[in-house]
Structure 1
């Protein structure tokens, strides 16, 4: 979408106060030192501030010094989650609209350099997918695409949201970054939430993972949540791709980003996700392996940092891990996921972005939640409640 001069000026104003200027005041090494210099006394101080911690506290909670404290962290994290969210767990499902992509990212199966079958759903195919998904019980849908302006850009997404709005009362997207003007238009069409992951906050290392395409622009991607907030979108989702760089420093950067956005765009709600690298087309091997114990530390650290933060756990993770981790801080789970366009009506592993780990059906996930005393929620927000 071509912006007029007034819209361009608005975008420049947003960029002038974006998180980019905040994070560039700190080097990656300095942030790492802040984490690794934390002591047991710092961790104990952070535990006393649970639910309303500051960034100093968060650095301690994510540090090696916190590892002996994982059990008290987990207990406090669970207490805060039940206090704020009760026993409700929101359920959602991803709908992949397209796997066409103009980016070259070394960790992604959709990279244009990978020789895979490409598919973009037509309107008829989108409706067929919607029918299959709705039959599973879902009312919250997350739309995903590769990043390709011409194939699945703003106009395509706008038409998809218009098409799906009468079927799904809650629509989120995880797609290519757009302008604040475009987000505002999509919000008026019925968009509820936008999730965008920086992948890595390490600016010096970012080019090693993003070789070509618009995603290679570190600053534009980093400023995307500012543009989403300025557009008045109800919920903003953040995260880093766990496995690219040091997960402790990445987590601190996400926490800093969150605080920046909350200060400027206080009307929006915020969510954090924890995508760990999964097998995909290509040969990339992560340099930093994030163990289950590490991921539990990340989840509980965020809950102790902010008791109001929403957190999601996807089918990237195993059924065993999800069943044991979700009570300690998670507020939403995906279920029955397909990562290929058209996968609900006509499954085709050849089109998958990555291999899921938890392959249980939505009904099985629902039964698990009920058996553990939780309340599955198929939709947790409606525009009429705005």
Structure 2
């Protein structure tokens, strides 16, 4: 895999930063063969005080399967060392499901025949009030990728409303330019999530049939632009199951590692979404990424970047999520709705995918306490 691949051309208005990180990711993944590490390599990685990229690659390989228990023991110790027993709680709020992209794995696909809707500012405020009433202090605002419907000014107003009620406000919207991230940061946004979906550039074009999301490098550089725009935290993820999940997990870790080195003050977070059924494709599944493989990736992330946060989403079943926060995850969603509306007023539009864990905040809180862990609603004071 080369950095010199042919990608969809930049569209008008897209900022080019060309920091060189994309090329280093593609070169690194191109050299990574998941079948190459041996059990000896895995054992060496588990004995290292600080893991190298080669160690990380070994822990992601099939050779690590017999070592999952040892990985879990060390990951749990690292989690306790850096995060104690804290589990940060948050919930997403979907503002709009209008989208210009045609992503084959997504319910918001522009070609899908779904109920489209967008919350106005009064509806957003009612939704936020209902979420705040649960005690949550961290909200993640999401939209489909349609600038013409959910413009930066609209997102900014939603962020301002959220910042009045919540200690932490995140955004998961289409990739933005540096000045746009700076604007949303000034409105009150603290962190941003932009997931690459797959780092395989050939597969990337196959699953992104049309729309601005086809521009691979613009999406990949989004975390850098967000940090340059003042965001203090950025999240990384591949949608596991779209391509070779081991290579995508390696690329995600390498991407986060390179950003951490370039921006040492940045707070780094991982998410691990798997493919889920959605309204237009009930047969969609995560391929060969079963819970054992998902857990292996999570443990490898924890050991490779022990200071990074790891989010376990409501895509996964309750029992798995509860086990994951005990071993390695540090952030957990609760009271999740993935449709448009549904918290403070009636549902208005269809959701992005089906969730597997629909527990409310109280039930998730109780499950965390039952594991001997501490639910955390606020871990940051905005100045």
TM band (smaller chain): over 0.9
Aligned residue number for residue 164 of structure 2: 166
Q: Cα–Cα, structure 1 residues 287 and 274, in superposed 2: closer, same or farther, change >3 Å?
A: closer
Aligned residue number for residue 9 of structure 2: none
SS state at 2:209 partner: strand
Deviations 1:301-358 (A, max 9, x none): 1111011010000111101111112111101100010001112123539611111111
Aligned residue number for residue 202 of structure 1: 200
Q: Cα–Cα, structure 1 residues 40 and 130, in superposed 2: closer, same or farther, change >3 Å?
A: same
Is residue 29–residue 247 contact of structure 2 (8 Å, CA) maintained in 1? no
SS state at 1:272 partner: strand
Distance in 2 between the 1:287 and 1:306 partners? 25
Structure 1: 4+ residue segments shifted above 6 A: none
Aligned residue number for residue 289 of structure 1: 288
Q: Cα–Cα, structure 1 residues 48 and 101, in superposed 2: closer, same or farther, change >3 Å?
A: same
Q: CA deviation at 1:60?
A: 0.1
Deviations 1:88-123 (A, max 9, x none): 100000000001101110000000100001111001
Q: Cα–Cα, structure 1 residues 383 and 94, in superposed 2: closer, same or farther, change >3 Å?
A: same
Deviations 1:163-217 (A, max 9, x none): 2211112100111000011111111221110011000000011111001110011
Size of the alignment, in residue pairs? 370
Deviations 1:280-311 (A, max 9, x none): 02236357331111111011111110110100
Q: Cα–Cα, structure 1 residues 287 and 312, in superposed 2: closer, same or farther, change >3 Å?
A: closer
Is residue 180–residue 230 contact of structure 1 (8 Å, CA) maintained in 2? yes
Q: CA deviation at 1:23?
A: 2.4
Deviations 1:243-268 (A, max 9, x none): 10111111100111011101111111
Is residue 75–residue 302 contact of structure 2 (8 Å, CA) maintained in 1? yes
Distance in 2 between the 1:96 and 1:55 partners? 36
CA-based RMSD of the aligned residues comes to: 1.6
Do residues 103 (structure 1) and 101 (structure 2) align?
A: yes
Q: Which of 274, 277, 280 matches 1:276?
A: 274
Deviations 1:345-372 (A, max 9, x none): 2353961111111111110110111122
Distance in 1 between the 2:99 and 2:349 partners? 16
Distance in 2 between the 1:115 and 1:382 partners? 42
Q: Which of 241, 244, 247 matches 2:245?
A: 247
**TM-score, scaled relative to structure 2:** 0.93
Aligned residue number for residue 5 of structure 1: none
1:1-386 correspondence runs (5 A):
11-12=15-16, 15-26=17-28, 28=30, 30-31=31-32, 33=33, 35-49=34-48, 52-283=50-281, 285-286=284-285, 288-348=287-347, 351-384=350-383
Q: Gaps (5+ residues) in structure 2? A: 1-12
Q: Cα–Cα, structure 1 residues 214 and 87, in superposed 2: closer, same or farther, change >3 Å?
A: same
Which structure's residues are more often helix, by fraction? 1
Q: CA deviation at 1:382?
A: 2.1
Distance in 1 between the 2:29 and 2:141 partners? 35
Deviations 1:35-85 (A, max 9, x none): 2100111101110125x3111000000000000000000000000100110
Is residue 19–residue 222 contact of structure 1 (8 Å, CA) maintained in 2? no
